[in-house]
Chains A and B, each alone.
Chain A
Amino acid sequence: NAGVTQTPKFQVLKTGQSMTLQCAQDMNHNSMYWYRQDPGMGLRLIYYSASEGTTDKGEVPNGYNVSRLNKREFSLRLESAAPSQTSVYFCASSGPELNTGELFFGEGSRLTVL
């Protein structure tokens, strides 16, 4: 049982390049999330998907797009990376209802934009 799997774990980009962070969960969870965490800071919600086929903006959505490909997968895309997007990105899932269950996090993807 892998839980939440994120790829890649590390990535270095140049300003203006694009990339997609992949996330998959094998727990049959309805809800999935993308957070970013800057050094010494808290977790800020980028986008979330309460169920398959829906996505909603979080606190810091600018510069990102997401796709809930199916119930298992939720990807995060940076169309034109900027140094301000240097961060650790965590994908998480929960289900069936957030308020009755915990959030399971992936190991994180460490992104550096030069």
Chain B
Amino acid sequence: QQPVQSPQAVILREGEDAVINCSSSKALYSVHWYRQKHGEAPVFLMILLKGGEQKGHEKISASFNEKKQQSSLYLTASQLSYSGTYFCGTVLIKAAGNKLTFGGGTRVLVKP
């Protein structure tokens, strides 16, 4: 079951902040965040694990609320290089094997 992302798109000025949300209707074991530039493959940003462990990117942070089955990605003091489409991917607690399912994506455009 695909996670739901919001908003679908956001436009920022350089230096502004934004939050991207990802929610699931089922209990999550982990949440992954990826960024994709136009015409390129997605690139890993971070993983958030059940229990609070987090691995990821220096300048982009995220949170994982296990009870609400939600994750949020925080783009702080955005840079032009932050532009792209952000995808959250989820692994369900009762998922078979290593099934990672992605949301529909959030398009981010950072303007000078």
Contact = CB atoms under 8 A, between A and B. Distances in A.
Nearest to B46: A102
Interface in B12-38: 29-30, 32, 34
Interface residues of A, number: 29
A59 B101 contact: yes
A113 interface: no
Contacts of B96: 50, 56
A99 B41 contact: no
Interface stretch (A12-20, A39-47, A75-83): A39-47
Interface in A60-107: 90, 94, 97-107
B64 to A, nearest CB: 12
Interface of B: 2, 29-30, 32, 34, 40-44, 47, 49, 87, 89, 91, 96-105
Closest 9 CB pairs of A and B: A50-B97, A102-B44, A105-B41, A98-B98, A42-B104, A43-B102, A31-B98, A99-B30, A42-B105
Interface of A: 31, 33, 35, 41-45, 48, 50-51, 54, 56, 58-59, 90, 94, 97-108
